[in-house]
Structure 1
């Protein structure tokens, strides 16, 4: 699930996953766990209001810079793909217009068509759009 024989490609995998965990996940968390960053109720509410915009900005960058092909890294499925899938399931709940993210939504459809995903969804009883 990672290009171990190509150090540059491996660095790109690490870059993408680092962006998801250090920027996108944090942008999402401001909407639900603002008290981690502020005690002031007005500041927490301001963070919540900002989530749709910050998440849209994050995913616009993914849509136009990071998503390189049918899979995040191009032609080959990597650990980046299930991670992006998971984080992208938050978009609707964060009030992001997914109509502006056709490549990410196609990635979601491609992920949902994978037999392993179908099995996991069945076992877990989870619903994804």
Structure 2
């Protein structure tokens, strides 16, 4: 497998899952500052011009949640998805919230052009980010983290996803001191060999 990623982006969640799975993969770094994601070579891999993208035997897969689920399916022995439907549903509930709400809140800071044409609109979106990301943290603390990890004491795909989103909080203007549960979650993730491996590889 080949994972196309950019440092500190959500694509690193897939790298964490791959490390947890024990599957072999090659990490291919894209230089977003140089606009490499917009060049024809990468557009042929992912026409959306975004990361992650994962090259597998059957072709190219995109979208973080889909890639995380693929990794888990390839290494069921790693237990990245719980067996019970309720717990699996809770895991996906958090993942879909991150994809549809919290990541979008974050994207409003630098990606306002996706939703509006006027710079004044972009400025309004940027000004709102600290508020919306703080509200998302309130939700995660109250409804997302059921222990040290999303599902309590056990690690799942949702934790890889949430960890990367939570790594953006200071840059988004969130006072993380107000969220000791999130700080403890990040500390627990930092202690995992998977996170240490991607950090050592310069992904974080």
Candidates 95, 98, 111, aligned match of 1:20: 98
| 2:88 is the alignment partner of 1:10 | yes
Provide the residue aligned with 2:125 in structure 1: 47
Structure 2 residue runs without a partner (length 5+): 1-79
Q: Which structure has the highest helix share of the two? A: 1
Distance in 1, matches of 2:104 and 2:193, equals 31
| 2:162 is the alignment partner of 1:84 | yes
Candidates 138, 147, 166, aligned match of 1:69: 147
Structure 1 residue runs without a partner (length 5+): none
Structure 1 window deviating more from structure 2 (82-91 vs 109-118): it is 109-118
| 2:188 is the alignment partner of 1:101 | no
Give, in angstroms, the shift of residue 116 of structure 1: 2.3
Divergent runs of 4+, >4 A: none
Larger CA Rg, structure 1 vs 2? 2
- Number of aligned residues: 125
Distance in 2, matches of 1:109 and 1:56, equals 19
Q: Which structure has the highest strand share of the two? A: 2
Give, in angstroms, the shift of residue 113 of structure 1: 0.8
Distance in 2, matches of 1:79 and 1:115, equals 15
SS in 2 for 1:55: helix
TM-score (norm 1): 0.92
Give, in angstroms, the shift of residue 125 of structure 1: 6.1
Structure 1 window deviating more from structure 2 (38-47 vs 49-58): it is 38-47
Root-mean-square deviation over aligned CA pairs: 1.1
Distance in 1, matches of 2:201 and 2:165, equals 20
Distance in 1, matches of 2:130 and 2:203, equals 28
Give, in angstroms, the shift of residue 8 of structure 1: 1.2
Provide the residue aligned with 1:59 in structure 2: 137
